[in-house]
Amino acid sequence: MNREQQYIETKAYKQFEEFCDACKKYKYIGICHGLPGVGKTQAARHYADWDRLYPAFCEFDRKYEVTDELTAELAKEKHTIFITAPTLGVNQITKDIKKIGYRITYMAREAFYEWDDGVDLIIIDEVDRLKMAHLEQIRDLYDRQNVPLILIGMPGIEKRLSRYPQLYSRIGFAHEYKKMDKIEAEHILHYKWEELGLGLQLADFSNYEAMNLILKITNGNFRLIHRLFTQIERVMEINQLQEISVDVVETARDSLVIG
């Protein structure tokens, strides 16, 4: 089976992309909120090209040597930093941002400049876990460097941030990351079938029935679709099956804890 996965740009992602571009253009702080599993984190990582950039920017040796041609090419432009909010340490969030920023800037300029010289946007995920002291650090970072920020969290995070007027008054945009509708979910399923080396044939009632069961189980939840297909692939390999049927989907579902 073909295990290679690709990120599929849904309508929700395109709206998120436009939101990020607007924050960069106007140098605002933006809030993105949405239900668990709708795809906020994966969208942010994809926008920042973080799965490719992180090893280049964060895992090379302490001498800041650029040894890979791809890394050198990526470093020519400004880039978005993606980080997950730390659970401990008031100063840790700014330390992490500046460390990555210095490395990006050094690789791009081959000399030490201000840490934000190579940074055009900072995305901070899981902001729900941050306390007032962390938020003050973020506000100070924004005021000093004027680098646009996007804060990603759960529904209600915008109301919580409204209790901190010094930060909230600097927020220019708010964006809700919505779950997929049926058409988008069907589009994703076509790709998921192909990743398993299969073709989704809606004229085949077995395929049609399995697809509708998956749509019912996942209800537009981006994360749950990926988790379910991981189990589907496992069930098919164990039983040496070549087709996704209702029985396969139900067996895969029984292996998941679905919230």
Q: What is the mean pLDDT of residues 140-149?
A: 91
User: Residue 2 pLDDT more than 50?
Assistant: no
Confidence band of 258 (pLDDT split at 50, 70, 90): low
Class of domain 182-254: mainly alpha
Range(s) of the chain covered by CATH 3.40.50.300 = 11-176
Measured CA to CA in angstroms, residue 125 lies from 46, 73, 79, 85, 115 at distances of 13, 27, 17, 6, 20
- As to burial, measured by CB atoms within 10 angstroms (0-12 exposed, 13-18 middle, 19+ buried), residue 69 is exposed
The CATH architecture annotation of domain 11-176 reads 3-Layer(aba) Sandwich (3.40)
Q: What is the pTM of this model?
A: 0.84
Contact between 228 and 252 under an 8 Å Cβ cutoff? The reply is yes
Cα separation, 246 vs 207, whole angstroms: 8
The string of pLDDT tens digits covering residues 42-94 is 999 999 999 888 877 765 544 445 556 666 666 667 789 999 988 766 678 88
Q: What is the mean pLDDT of the chain?
A: 85
% of residues, the chain, pLDDT over 90: 46
Confidence band of 199 (pLDDT split at 50, 70, 90): confident
Q: What is the mean pLDDT of residues 145-159?
A: 93
The string of pLDDT tens digits covering residues 212-246 is 999 999 998 998 999 999 999 999 999 999 899 99
Q: Give the per-residue pLDDT at 105.
A: 74
Range(s) of the chain covered by CATH 1.10.8 = 182-254
% of residues, the chain, pLDDT over 70: 84
Q: What is the mean pLDDT of residues 119-123?
A: 93
